[in-house]
């Protein structure tokens, strides 16, 4: 699909699916890393409200970090949102057999509604096909234009299911009203979810400090921008007066 039809669909529906962004090798590697992270979290924090949803995935596996430099991911988010966008949150969303998760409430991924202005965009990278049986996300087309959330009844009367394939990339306006489904299949459905925001907004975690030097150095220009390396705040006049190429808060981050 060409960019202008994609943009039109994004504006009208609030969501687009880009087919075949990640191949089998990516999917296998990401799934392995995610399952290891979930197993670790389940041991260490079994009782958290969002159990099973891994936070800060770029710190939990080399490929989950490397995917931030994926050229197609960057191409489409720059085109549909802004070339300067950064990560607000990078998590996962898995549905184990018979279960929903914290994402299964009817919700939006951005609390602010500003008429005709996008502050946050969501990216879902399905690691399994999203099917009716395994809990494909419910969403209300066009609901990103609503200032208030509809009632749950109205939502489920009118909502559609986000049916897509493992390896596709879903991009949605974070004001789109949606809910993860319940997995009626006999295997876990995995996905990575990235919430992007404008570069002048705060991130959920201080990623430039949270990531190790090695993780930051493993990233390319796009990945570094996404984790917030171009919008760091100086803590001294020495940092403020650094030469242009070393500036922590780069110019033009709009
Ligand atoms: O896993 C899903 O189907 C949707 C996830 C979701 O709603 C979220 O992470 O906000």
**DSSP codes of every residue in 197-208:** E-TTSPPSS-HH
Percentage of residues in the chain with pLDDT exceeding 90?
98
Closest atom of ligand 1 to 193 CA is 9
Domain count, the chain: 1
Would the pLDDT of 166 be above 80?
Answer: yes
Closest atom of ligand 1 to 101 CA is 1
How far are the Cα atoms of 65, 78, 200, 229, 240 from residue 235, in angstroms, in the given order? 27, 30, 17, 14, 8
pLDDT (average), residues 222-238? 97
Å from CA of 216 to ligand 1 middle = 27
Closest atom of ligand 1 to 91 CA is 9
Å from CA of 232 to ligand 1 middle = 29
pLDDT (average), residues 126-141? 98
User: Among 54, 27, 38, which Cα is nearest to 168's?
Assistant: 27
DSSP-based three-state secondary structure for 163: coil
Cβ neighbour number for residue 32 with a 10 Å cutoff = 12
In a domain, residue 251? The reply is: no
Å from CA of 238 to ligand 1 middle = 43
* Per-residue confidence band for 52, with pLDDT thresholds at 50, 70 and 90: confident
pLDDT (average), residues 108-124? 97
Protein residue whose Cα sits closest to atom 8 of ligand 1? 103
Q: Mutate which of 17, 124, 170 to test ligand 1's pocket (most atoms within 8 Å of Cβ)?
A: 124
In a domain, residue 150? The reply is: yes
DSSP-based three-state secondary structure for 37: helix
In a domain, residue 239? The reply is: yes
How far are the Cα atoms of 138, 142, 248 from residue 213, in angstroms, in the given order? 39, 41, 15
Å from CA of 157 to ligand 1 middle = 19
pLDDT (average), residues 154-181? 98
**pLDDT number for residue 225:** 98
Would the pLDDT of 143 be above 90?
Answer: yes
* Per-residue confidence band for 1, with pLDDT thresholds at 50, 70 and 90: confident
Give how far the C-alpha of residue 13 lies from the chain's centroid of Cα atoms, to the nearest Å: 18
CA–CA gap between residue 128 and residue 191 (Å, rounded) = 7
**pLDDT number for residue 176:** 98
**pLDDT number for residue 101:** 94
Would the pLDDT of 77 be above 90?
Answer: yes
In a domain, residue 252? The reply is: no
In a domain, residue 159? The reply is: yes
Q: Give the range of the structural domain holding residue 67, as residue numbers without chain letter.
A: 3-246
CA–CA gap between residue 149 and residue 158 (Å, rounded) = 13
Closest atom of ligand 1 to 135 CA is 3
* Per-residue confidence band for 254, with pLDDT thresholds at 50, 70 and 90: confident
In the chain, DSSP assigns E strands to 15-18, 86-92, 120-126, 138-139, 160-161, 169-173, 178-179, 191-197
Å from CA of 240 to ligand 1 middle = 39
- β-partners of residue 171 are 16, 123
pLDDT (average), residues 238-247? 95
pLDDT (average), residues 204-222? 98
Å from CA of 104 to ligand 1 middle = 7
In a domain, residue 254? The reply is: no
**pLDDT number for residue 78:** 98
Q: Verify whether ligand 1 is closer than 6 Å to residue 137 (CB atom).
A: yes
CA–CA gap between residue 203 and residue 241 (Å, rounded) = 24
CA–CA gap between residue 1 and residue 6 (Å, rounded) = 6
What 8-state DSSP symbol labels residue 43?
H
**pLDDT number for residue 125:** 98
* Per-residue confidence band for 16, with pLDDT thresholds at 50, 70 and 90: very high
How far are the Cα atoms of 38, 183, 209 from residue 188, in angstroms, in the given order? 12, 8, 33
In a domain, residue 100? The reply is: yes
User: Among 95, 39, 87, 33, which Cα is nearest to 60's?
Assistant: 33
pLDDT (average), residues 48-69? 96
**Any idea what the CATH number is for the domain that residue 161 is in?**
2.60.120.620
Protein residue whose Cα sits closest to atom 6 of ligand 1? 103
Å from CA of 193 to ligand 1 middle = 7
Closest atom of ligand 1 to 95 CA is 1
Protein residue whose Cα sits closest to atom 10 of ligand 1? 103
In a domain, residue 253? The reply is: no
pLDDT (average), residues 55-70? 98
Å from CA of 233 to ligand 1 middle = 31
């Amino acid at each position: 699909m060409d960019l202008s039809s994609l943009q039109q669909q994004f504006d009208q529906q609030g969501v687009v699916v880009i087919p075949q962004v990640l191949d089998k090798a990516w999917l296998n590697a990401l799934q392995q890393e995610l399952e290891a992270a979930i197993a670790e979290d389940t041991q260490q924090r079994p009782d958290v409200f969002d159990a099973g949803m891994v936070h800060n995935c770029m710190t939990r596996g080399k490929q989950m970090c490397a995917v931030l430099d994926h050229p197609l991911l960057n191409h489409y988010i720059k085109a549909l949102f802004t070339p300067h966008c950064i990560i607000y949150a990078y998590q996962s969303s898995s549905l184990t057999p018979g279960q929903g998760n914290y994402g299964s409430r009817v919700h939006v991924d951005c609390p602010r509604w500003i008429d005709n202005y996008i502050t946050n965009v969501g990216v879902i990278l399905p690691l399994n096909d999203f099917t009716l049986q395994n809990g494909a996300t419910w969403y209300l087309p066009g609901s990103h234009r609503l200032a208030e959330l509809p009632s749950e009844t109205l939502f489920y009367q009118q909502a559609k299911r986000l049916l897509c394939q493992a390896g596709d990339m879903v991009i949605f306006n974070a004001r789109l009203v949606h809910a993860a489904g319940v997995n009626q299949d006999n295997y876990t459905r995995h996905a990575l979810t990235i919430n992007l925001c404008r570069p002048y907004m705060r991130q959920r975690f201080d990623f430039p400090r949270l990531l190790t030097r090695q993780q930051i150095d493993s990233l390319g220009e796009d990945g570094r921008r996404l984790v917030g390396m171009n919008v760091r705040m100086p803590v001294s006049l020495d940092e403020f007066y650094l030469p242009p190429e070393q500036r922590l808060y780069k110019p033009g981050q709009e």
